Amino acid sequence: MTDKQAGGDVRLSGISKTYGSFTAVHPLDLTVPEGSFFALLGASGCGKTTTLRMIAGLEDPTTGTVRLGDKDVTALPPHKRPVNTVFQSYALFPHLNIYENVAFGLRRRGVKSVKKQVDDMLELVQLGDFAQRKPHQLSGGQQQRVAVARALINHPQVLLLDEPLGALDLKLRRQMQLELKRIQTEVGITFVHVTHDQEEAMTMADTVAVMNGGRVEQLGAPAELYENPRTTFVANFLGTSNLIEAEVVQSSGGEVVVTAGGGKLRLPAGRCPDATTAGGRLLVGVRPEKISLTPVADADAVPAGRNSVTGRILDSSFIGVSTQYVVESPAGKGLEVYAQNVEHRAGLEPGAEVVLHWNPEHTFGLDAAQAID
């Protein structure tokens, strides 16, 4: 198996890219820690590929610098940077077998004895038995693993991945997400992965930068972004957020109290904008799977201290892992609730009057001046 390789951090300072009068990436400061699996996540056209290409040296930044480890590489061409890129199109050499595809980078550098390194690399991507095959004799996922092996053989400090799983079907994509994560853990170098798929970014990355309109809207660990989004874009891009318009009645002692839909809700001050004060407005969010439903007739059974609003079930659908409800409430028209283990529960049919309740800790507050995306 390959030894752990020394990684490198990536530091972008004031980096931007404009094409004529169009700004694809606004000045951006970003540090990718050494040895991390970092994802640039965003919808098509948000500037994530352009950012990746500036790290690779495939695109000249309009302003700013790129540092890899302690070296400023802004002026270096791609092949002089200690990085390599894996693209969605595997771009394997069709006439060479898998062994020679992986050996290619070593041979080009004039390395004489390549066998041990190529064997190790094929073992790393679990394709040792496929060395003699041609690319067209492999599945899409296997070909992508060859592309990863080929990119890693020259020991880059940073591996850049530009939608590498985009051409694979969903099942294979899921397998490859875990596979790439395993490979990254094993080689220990920095991976920067571009994707528009939030689930993919959340599954694989230690840190995710959510991009929108050429800017990073929020950066953090997947769970932190999901549980404490700071903008409506991030809240909605990473799942369903149930945003409720609310007025702040109190903000003290680490807790914010709001009124929404005629009732009071509490939430941690640390999950609200800094400037939250009594009299202000907030959009209060809670994820669908954090909410429980109780028929109004059993409202006494709702534990004390929960946030609660009343509502009426409009629709319910059983989708196997959960039952998904849409609930109309004075707090919001189409609140979504995902409940597990409730295949057929009496009192939770469409038309039923219910209490929606959840732990205040699972509530976040956003600046109400933002548009709801």
Pairing of strands 158-162, 307-318: unpaired
Contact partners, residue 341, CB within 8 Å, separation at least 6: none
Binding test (CB under 6 A) with ligand ATP, winner from 11, 48, 81, 362: 48
Binding test (CB under 6 A) with ligand ATP, winner from 14, 45, 262, 305: 45
Which range touches ligand ATP (CB under 6 A), out of 19-27, 256-264, 305-313, 354-362? 19-27
Using CB under 6 A as the binding criterion, the count of chain residues that bind ligand ATP stands at 12
- Tokens at residue 8, please? 């490198």
Is the Cβ of residue 90 or residue 364 nearer to ligand ATP in the bound state? 90
Q: Are 60 and 246 within 8 A, CB to CB?
A: no
In the complex, least distance from residue 66 CB atom to ligand ATP, rounded to whole angstroms: 15
In the complex, least distance from residue 152 CB atom to ligand ATP, rounded to whole angstroms: 23
Is the Cβ of residue 62 or residue 126 nearer to ligand ATP in the bound state? 62
d(C-alpha 214, C-alpha 46), whole Å = 5
**String of contacts with ligand ATP for each residue 137-176, x by CB under 6 A:** ----------------------------------------
In the complex, least distance from residue 45 CB atom to ligand ATP, rounded to whole angstroms: 4
The pair phi, psi for residue 218, each rounded to 5°, is -160, 145
| Residue 42 interacting with ligand ATP (CB under 6 A) | yes
The pair phi, psi for residue 123, each rounded to 5°, is -70, -40
| Residue 19 interacting with ligand ATP (CB under 6 A) | yes
Of 283-322, binders to ligand ATP (CB under 6 A) are: none
Q: How far is CA 299 from the centre of its chain?
A: 38
Of 185-244, binders to ligand ATP (CB under 6 A) are: 196
| Total length of the chain | 373
Is the Cβ of residue 19 or residue 129 nearer to ligand ATP in the bound state? 19
- Tokens at residue 240, please? 């369903």
Please report, as a single letter, which amino acid is at residue 104. Answer: F
Of 177-196, binders to ligand ATP (CB under 6 A) are: 196
Contacts with ligand ATP by CB under 6 A lie at 19, 22, 24, 42, 44-50, 196
